[in-house]
Amino acid sequence: MTADAPAPHRATLRIVAALGGNALLRRGEALTAQAQQATIATAAGLLAELVAGGDRLVVTHGNGPQVGLLALQSAAGPAASVLPLDVLGAASEGWVGYALELGLRHALPAGAELVTILTQTVVGRDDPAFDAPVKPIGPVYASGAAHRLALARGWVVAPDGQGWRRVVASPKPLRIVEIATIERLAEAGVIVICAGGGGIPVIEAKDGVLEGIEAVIDKDAASALLAIALKADQLVMLTDVPGVYLDYGTDHQRLIRSASPDALKPHTSAFRAGSMGPKVAAACAFAEATGHVAAIGALADCAGLVAATSGTAIGIGLDLVFA
């Protein structure tokens, strides 16, 4: 907290806020540095309101479109200099972290301290995800173009919405390498941007030596791991829908206002893999590990999510309530 921040209206919360792709770039919009910066300005303004309330904030973010674009650019160069996904993940953390810092510094009171931590996330060398890529990255293609690229570049492609996208391995995050430093900074009142794109995937040899590996970690799974390790009071996943629905996309969809992890388990298949599935799983993992509440909902409702007046709240013992 900065010296000139207003007195907190309640106990200071330690909040991990996970920004979805839509906080960085509006869905369907072409990825340019300018378009991304313009979208981030809105997200930054909303996050700054949380900080003004006195809460400590750790910010994570996705990187699917960004790492996908960097991969395309890298593949357009000489074959020998094609960069592996861990290196591109690092580049995307730097790029998005910088863009978020610009937006947040503009939105926060003068003197607020913030920093981006280039984060490495340990995954298992034998994670079965390496044999079954599911994480979409980069642009959406028509079927023909996607299959031509798959042949030419050795990609795996899969349907995503109306089109096709490249998919890569998304192993389970096990440990965040810089966690002690992140915790120290957050405790001191520094706003920390970290675990971008789930963190740079690394594997750990028996002697503890870390080595990058080709994958893109799910940012919701990494955010839950981070929030649990930080003993956060709240994990807030900010996306582009008002919350979690049952029968989503049908004319009888129902917004879940609150639920316990146990109440959601029979409905796991209702939350699509690669989008709402990982958010619900992350929320349940956080709630079960900490006893605290995780919230999922629209970025625009950020303050309401923290106050549990909008979105979906997931916590131990919460009744299953629909809007």
User: Catalytic residues, which ones?
Assistant: 21-22, 135, 219, 279
- Cβ closer to ligand ADP: 85 or 241? 241
- The rounded distance, in Å, linking the Cα atoms of 82 and 76 is 8
Separation in Å, CA 109 to CA 1, 80, 205: 11, 46, 44
Do the bridges between strand 234-239 and strand 14-19 make them parallel or antiparallel, or are there none, so unpaired?
parallel
**Do the Cβ atoms of 46 and 55 come closer than 8 Å?**
no
Candidates 239, 258, 290, 310; binder of ligand ADP (CB under 6 A) is 239
**Residue nearest ligand ADP by beta-carbon distance:** 20
Cα separation, 242 vs 299, in Å, equals 8
* Tokens at 230, concatenated: 């930080």
Indicate which single residue of 276, 281, 284, 306 sits in contact with ligand ADP (rule: CB under 6 A): 276
Residue 275 interacts with ligand ADP (CB under 6 A)? yes
> What span, in angstroms and rounded, lies between the C-alpha atoms of 271 and 279?
9
Conformational region of residue 198, where left means phi above 0, alpha means psi within -120 to 50, and beta covers everything else:
left
Interface residue with ligand ADP, options 16, 17, 22, 199 (CB under 6 A): 22
Region near ligand ADP per CB under 6 A, out of 176-184, 193-201, 208-216, 233-241: 233-241
The piece of 99-107, 189-197, 236-244, 286-294 that touches ligand ADP (CB under 6 A) is 236-244
| Of 37, 75, 175, 248, the one binding ligand ADP by CB under 6 A | 248
Regarding 240 and contact with ligand ADP (CB under 6 A), the answer is: yes
Tell me: does residue 272 bind ligand ADP (CB under 6 A): yes
218 binds ligand ADP (CB under 6 A): no
According to CB under 6 A, which residues from 47 to 86 bind ligand ADP?
Answer: 62
Calculated CA dihedral for residues 133, 139, 145, 148, nearest 10 degrees: -40
Specify the residue, 120 or 239, whose C-beta has the smaller distance to ligand ADP: 239
Q: CB of 248: closest distance to ligand ADP in angstroms?
A: 3
Query: If binding is defined by CB under 6 A, does position 310 make contact with ligand ADP?
Result: no
Which of 169, 235, 241, 283 touches ligand ADP by CB under 6 A? Answer: 241
Residue 245 lies near ligand ADP (rule: CB under 6 A): yes
**How far is residue 189's CA from residue 58's CA, in Å, rounded to a whole number?**
10
Cβ atoms within 10 Å, residue 162: 7
Please enumerate in sequence order all residues whose Cβ is within 8 A of that of 308, keeping only pairs 6 or more positions apart, or say none. Answer: 258, 293, 295
311 is an interface residue for ligand ADP by CB under 6 A: no
Q: Cβ closer to ligand ADP: 6 or 161?
A: 161
Q: Identify the CA nearest to 217 among candidates 322, 67, 94, 76.
A: 67
Q: Specify whether the CB–CB gap between 117 and 181 falls below 8 A.
A: yes
* Among 44, 47, 202, 244, interactor with ligand ADP by CB under 6 A: 244
Of 213 and 236, which has the nearer Cβ to ligand ADP?
A: 236
Q: Residue 22 CB, nearest distance to ligand ADP (Å)?
A: 5
Q: Which stretch of DSSP H or E encloses residue 17?
A: strand 14-19
Residue 291 gets which letter from DSSP? S
Give the total of residues touching ligand ADP (CB under 6 A).
Answer: 15
- The answer to whether 40 and 23 have CB atoms below 8 angstroms apart is yes
Binding site for ligand ADP (CB under 6 A): 20-22, 62, 239-241, 244-245, 248, 270-272, 275-276
